Amino acid sequence: MQRTPINPWPWSLQLGYNQAELITAATRHLICAGQTAVDANGTPQHPGDMRRQIALTLDNLETVLHGAGMGLGQITRLTIYTTDVDAALQHFDVLGARFGVANAATPMTLLGVTRLAIPTLMVEIEASAAD
């Protein structure tokens, strides 16, 4: 897979993402359902702790990706839903650290929502990946 960043404006790079990426020569495409801060039994974890919920959500996303033989570096699109945009932004360094190691500046969207399916959850991340 070849990724070509498209950034008509450089401001998004300071926030850790590309405006777009042109993906060519991909052979597999994975679409992940929204991942949240739940344990292996689906029980919500870390109520009221946005930082730990983001970290566990990313752990769960990586587990799904690894099931397909992929990692964060293969994500081509990320959508983040949160019940508190300001709190999520305060802890975006968690995402930056994880995606930085993967050398990825994946195009993403952050959306504020009234609530998620389980009321104690504060963040949900959907992803698409390719290789």
Please give the Cα distance from 86 to 112 (Å, whole number). 9
How far CA 107 is from CA of 26, 71, 78, in Å, comes to 17, 16, 6
**Would you place residue 105 in the very low, low, confident or very high pLDDT band (cuts 50, 70, 90)?**
confident
How far CA 65 is from CA of 9, 13, 20, 83, 105, in Å, comes to 30, 24, 21, 25, 17
Pick the closest to residue 61 from 76, 44, 75 (CA basis): 75
pLDDT at 93 over 90: yes
pTM: 0.90
Three-state DSSP at 65 gives helix
List domains and CATH numbers for the chain: 28-130 (3.30.1330.40)
Segment among 7-21, 33-47, 67-81, 113-127 with least mean pLDDT = 7-21
The position carrying tokens 């070849």 is: 2
Three-state DSSP at 108 gives strand
Please give the Cα distance from 52 to 78 (Å, whole number). 19
Residue 48 sits at φ, ψ, to 5 deg, of: 80, 0
Is there a contact between 22 and 6 (Cβ–Cβ < 8 Å)?
yes
Condensed to tens digits (0 to 9), the pLDDT of residues 26-81 reads: 899 999 999 999 999 999 999 999 999 999 999 999 999 999 999 999 999 999 99
What's the average model confidence in pLDDT over 96-115? 93
